[in-house]
Structure 1
Amino acid sequence: MNAKRIGQVLLVPAVLAAGLLAAPATATAQQQCVTGGSDIRSVPWPQRFLAPERAWPMSTGSGQKVAVISTGTGDNPLLSGKVADSTTLAQASGRNASGRPDCMGIGTGVAGVIAAGSAPGIGFHGVAPGVSLLSAKVVADQYVSGGPPKAVDPGLLADAIDWAVGKGASVIAVAEVAREDNAALRQAVQNAIAKNAVVVAATGEPVGSDSPYAGKPTYPGSLDGVLTVGAIDEGGQVVPGASRIDIVAPGVGVLTTYPGGGLGTAAGSSFATGYVAAAAALVRAYWPNLSNVDVVKRLRATTTPANDGPDRRTYGDGIVNPYQAVIDQVSGGRPADLPPLRQKEPTAEEKAIKAADDHATAWGFGAAGIGVGLVGLVIALAIFWPKGRGRRWRSGLAPDPVEYPEDELPQPPAELFGGRAGNS
């Protein structure tokens, strides 16, 4: 981004609450909508890290429908023709209503992470560009004020999930959270799972310690059968989530599509959810006979190990790995427990056979020892018998050497001259 473009950047309050850094906005201050991104051509770090294009020779997600439940999906050339159907469940009202399909930009950004196409000279692309998108708008121009922070009515999420199932979604990316449990939402999730859809949900971002929702779970991420996604930054550090974390994906400094065209950065578990949902679509396209439960198992089993921290459980099973999720051979089923080992009491016949074997073994070792001894005796006789006869059985030891006393006066030793010097 050049200096002139940076000088135009506007930090939109409504979008900041969602963790998304907005590019230039031309709407009024009352509307505060994201309306366009920048001409950014570099390859973003999540793509360098995940390299999802390695899986494209096997799968681009073709034939899969991925539902994005968020703030709607705006127009962007990289998403042209990608949205097969859409619905608006949260309608803005009043004179300041923007009327835009996506005012906040979150849904458009998640859609780009999942399915954005490639363009000449542009480094960014989606993880599964072959999929079709279904867009369910559950946030109007901003989050409802006066309610739970950064949250959506659970009833709207339930309606959106039901709509996605009715449209044949094989993967459902719930990029928004509810902060209250709800029977309708539970039923919608159970129905989606029963219809073989993979439900992927954001953990949501933490709220202030003074909030009554601090430390409490978010929904549907806390429900059984849902694959819950946390966000990591470029250094691999996890962003604390408000719900449990099953798996993590890039969610800080994410480059993606903006409504109105162009690209910009974004942050939050919503975008991490897009990466995992796209990986699920790649798997479903390549392994069409896998159930939704098996797809989730495969995604969790093929993760890249995350950084060690004080508590590794905060990373779930690790960082999503789209390529490995597609190509790895993952064994199915569940290992069965082996029965306890019990020593069987031998029968009388078995005892008799063992005793006979032991007896035969003992005799065998004894005979072998005797044989070795006889062989050694024969060898000794063969060596020493002739020598003994040649000495007429006298001792073979050499005689003790003769010692001569030394002269008291210094003179050459007698032995050198054949006798003592006085006898010469």
Structure 2
Amino acid sequence: MTLTKAVRLLGATTLTGALLLSAAPTASADQVRDAQWTNPYFDLDKVWSVSKGDGVVVAVIDTGVDASHPDITGSVLPGYDPSGSGQDKQPSDPHGTNMASLIVGHGHGSGTGVLGLAPGAKVLPIYRETAAGGDAIPEGIKWAVDHGAKVINLSQAGVGEPKSDAELTEAVAYAARHDVLIVAGAGNDGRGKVASPANEPGVLAVGATDKSDVVWPKSNYGSQVLLTAPGVGIVSAGSCGSNQYCIGDGTSDSTAFTSAAAALVRAKFPNLTAGQVADRLVKSAKAPTAANGGKLPDPHYGYGVLSPYDALTKDIPAGSAQGPLAATSGDEAAPAPSGVATTGGDPEQPDALPQARSSSDSGLGAGVLAAVGAGAVLLVVLIVVVAVRSRRRPNPVPPQGQPPYGAQPGWPQLPYGGQPPQQQGYPQQQPYGGQPPQQGYPPQQGYPPQQGPYQNPYGQGGNQSQR
């Protein structure tokens, strides 16, 4: 994958200088919280009555996280910087801090500052580049897995076909083997081609919507998108210019909210696998009326818009360990976590991620052949016995009742195990045609004519970001 920066400061709006925390008047401080339209949208008090994400570690592989920001102090763990420059904790770019605040932000003082969706969780910051400025995301994924992360947030978008980067593909598979959910943004250039790493098999790809559940025009789309989440006009903590807050648009923000929702679910249902967590998020998503005439999945919306409270409270069977995530290749199956009920060998409900066949298991072993031979002999004996007995007595009456197994009439064919989903089956994960997106993202020129401009709660001046 060729990494492209997923944040662009484009000279529009963030909070004004009056909102600096060092001397912010009450009215201005309230403006930060009031501008977070996602707080009432998600109904945070209702969500937090069920889960705050306590005990779950979310790795944020990004530009680093400023743990000194008052809205996230105490919520950031010691991290990792492959470049050795200390960017994980002293970032020169606010993007990683922005994302962390949307996940674990707790505000400060009395009702001021940014709130995240999962304030009980902890963030594990990982810098995304090597010392030479190269892509360190695969290394970061493995480091996160080895250091306790249960969710990995990748608010990044790069150029690359699925499985074209062997290190990235193997790192994603490594996370799958260790039951860690990876969430990534679909991309910010409006193409019908999901960006890397969101297009990798095993990654939960997320698009962006506005406060009316309308897809953001620059949100990339395709059948790999499984969910959408708020990503327009999002206020976050992190220094933009001389200020301590930013406002921006992009699938980066929607990815952070989805990672936070995954943390909520993992805290509430600690025995679910990563795939089963993704399954809850997908099956509880709101179905927007704008989506393909109401038909789902939709290439822009996936299976709908993120609904954290429903993900926490709906009666959704656990299903297969893999859930809706595309299978990673070349890796052994991940065992179900302790306490997860297995399926008793039902072929429609595998107990773990599918096991890929390696070169060493392409043939049958001697023990298997011996067992098959013994079974064949036993079968011949049984046939002879039945034939003899059938000559001595009349044919028995066939047993009555339903067979103890098999598909029920009218059930759809499911691409993975578990109960039939409430919506249509999950799409086959496929690469997309077309040309790869250009490096970087075009500058924001305003929204298309069919959508009115968003109101700026901060007045004129400052910066805005597309991330």
Q: How high is the TM-score relative to the length of structure 1?
A: 0.63
Matched, 1:251 2:231: yes
TM superposition shift of 1:100: 8.1
The one-character-per-residue Cα deviations of 1:358-393 (angstroms, maximum 9, x if unpaired) are xxxxxxxxxxxxxxxxxxxxxxxxxxxxxxxxxxxx
**SS of residue paired to 2:306:** coil
Matched, 1:316 2:298: no
Counterpart in the other structure of 1:127 = 117
Q: Using the alignment, how far apart are the partners of 2:11 and 2:144 within structure 1? A: 25
Counterpart in the other structure of 1:222 = 199
Q: Using the alignment, how far apart are the partners of 1:235 and 1:246 within structure 2? A: 19
The one-character-per-residue Cα deviations of 1:20-52 (angstroms, maximum 9, x if unpaired) are 955579xxxxxxxxxx99732415211221113
TM superposition shift of 1:328: 1.3
Picking from 220, 223, 248, the partner of 1:266 is 248
Aligned pairs (5 A) from 1:5-404: 16=8, 21-22=13-14, 39=29, 40-42=32-34, 44-74=36-66, 75-90=68-83, 101-119=90-108, 120-122=110-112, 124-138=114-128, 155-180=135-160, 181-206=164-189, 216-239=193-216, 240-241=219-220, 244-259=224-239, 262-310=244-292, 312-333=298-319
Q: Using the alignment, how far apart are the partners of 1:17 and 1:242 within structure 2? A: 23
Given the superposition, is the C-alpha separation of residues 348 and 52 from structure 1 closer, same or farther in structure 2, using an over 3 Å criterion?
same
- Comparing 253-262 with 179-188, greater Cα deviation is found at 253-262
Counterpart in the other structure of 2:383 = none
Q: Using the alignment, how far apart are the partners of 1:45 and 1:70 within structure 2? A: 24
Q: Using the alignment, how far apart are the partners of 2:105 and 2:10 within structure 1? A: 21
Tell which structure's C-alpha radius of gyration is larger.
Answer: 1
**SS of residue paired to 2:125:** strand
Q: Using the alignment, how far apart are the partners of 2:227 and 2:102 within structure 1? A: 17
Asked whether the equivalents of residues 221 and 299 of structure 2 are also in contact (C-alpha less than 8 Å), the reply is: no
What value does the CA root-mean-square deviation take over the aligned residues?
3.6
Given the superposition, is the C-alpha separation of residues 18 and 164 from structure 1 closer, same or farther in structure 2, using an over 3 Å criterion?
farther
- State the percentage of identical aligned residues: 29
Given the superposition, is the C-alpha separation of residues 250 and 284 from structure 1 closer, same or farther in structure 2, using an over 3 Å criterion?
same
Amino acid at match of 2:184: A
**SS of residue paired to 1:160:** helix
The one-character-per-residue Cα deviations of 1:182-240 (angstroms, maximum 9, x if unpaired) are 10000000000110001111112117xxxxxx654422211112111111112322123
Q: Using the alignment, how far apart are the partners of 2:38 and 2:214 within structure 1? A: 13
Q: Using the alignment, how far apart are the partners of 2:226 and 2:236 within structure 1? A: 24
Given the superposition, is the C-alpha separation of residues 320 and 187 from structure 1 closer, same or farther in structure 2, using an over 3 Å criterion?
same
Amino acid at match of 1:133: V
Amino acid at match of 1:290: L
**SS of residue paired to 2:183:** strand
Amino acid at match of 1:87: Y
Amino acid at match of 1:234: K
The structure that is helix-richer by fraction is 1
Asked whether the equivalents of residues 18 and 106 of structure 1 are also in contact (C-alpha less than 8 Å), the reply is: no
The one-character-per-residue Cα deviations of 1:221-260 (angstroms, maximum 9, x if unpaired) are 1111211111111232212316632101111100111138
Asked whether the equivalents of residues 6 and 157 of structure 2 are also in contact (C-alpha less than 8 Å), the reply is: no
Q: Using the alignment, how far apart are the partners of 1:327 and 1:65 within structure 2? A: 22
Unaligned runs of 5+ in 2: 18-22, 321-345, 349-393, 398-467
Q: Using the alignment, how far apart are the partners of 2:309 and 2:35 within structure 1? A: 18
Q: Using the alignment, how far apart are the partners of 2:145 and 2:258 within structure 1? A: 19
**SS of residue paired to 1:187:** helix
Q: Using the alignment, how far apart are the partners of 2:279 and 2:11 within structure 1? A: 30
The one-character-per-residue Cα deviations of 1:102-140 (angstroms, maximum 9, x if unpaired) are 233111111000000143132741111011110112159
TM superposition shift of 1:87: 1.7
**SS of residue paired to 2:8:** helix
TM superposition shift of 1:80: 0.3
**SS of residue paired to 1:313:** coil
Amino acid at match of 1:44: Q
TM superposition shift of 1:70: 1.2
- Ranked by relative contact order (alpha carbons within 8 Å, sequence separation 6 or more), the top structure is 2
Amino acid at match of 1:318: G
Given the superposition, is the C-alpha separation of residues 261 and 196 from structure 1 closer, same or farther in structure 2, using an over 3 Å criterion?
farther
Amino acid at match of 2:220: G
Asked whether the equivalents of residues 233 and 252 of structure 1 are also in contact (C-alpha less than 8 Å), the reply is: yes
Asked whether the equivalents of residues 14 and 245 of structure 2 are also in contact (C-alpha less than 8 Å), the reply is: no
Q: Using the alignment, how far apart are the partners of 2:103 and 2:151 within structure 1? A: 11
Q: Using the alignment, how far apart are the partners of 2:299 and 2:103 within structure 1? A: 26
The one-character-per-residue Cα deviations of 1:45-90 (angstroms, maximum 9, x if unpaired) are 1122111331222211111000011111123101101111212235
- Comparing 99-108 with 242-251, greater Cα deviation is found at 99-108
**SS of residue paired to 1:285:** helix
Q: Using the alignment, how far apart are the partners of 2:59 and 2:268 within structure 1? A: 19
Counterpart in the other structure of 1:406 = none
Given the superposition, is the C-alpha separation of residues 301 and 318 from structure 1 closer, same or farther in structure 2, using an over 3 Å criterion?
same
Given the superposition, is the C-alpha separation of residues 224 and 278 from structure 1 closer, same or farther in structure 2, using an over 3 Å criterion?
same
Counterpart in the other structure of 2:336 = none
Q: How high is the TM-score relative to the length of structure 2?
A: 0.57
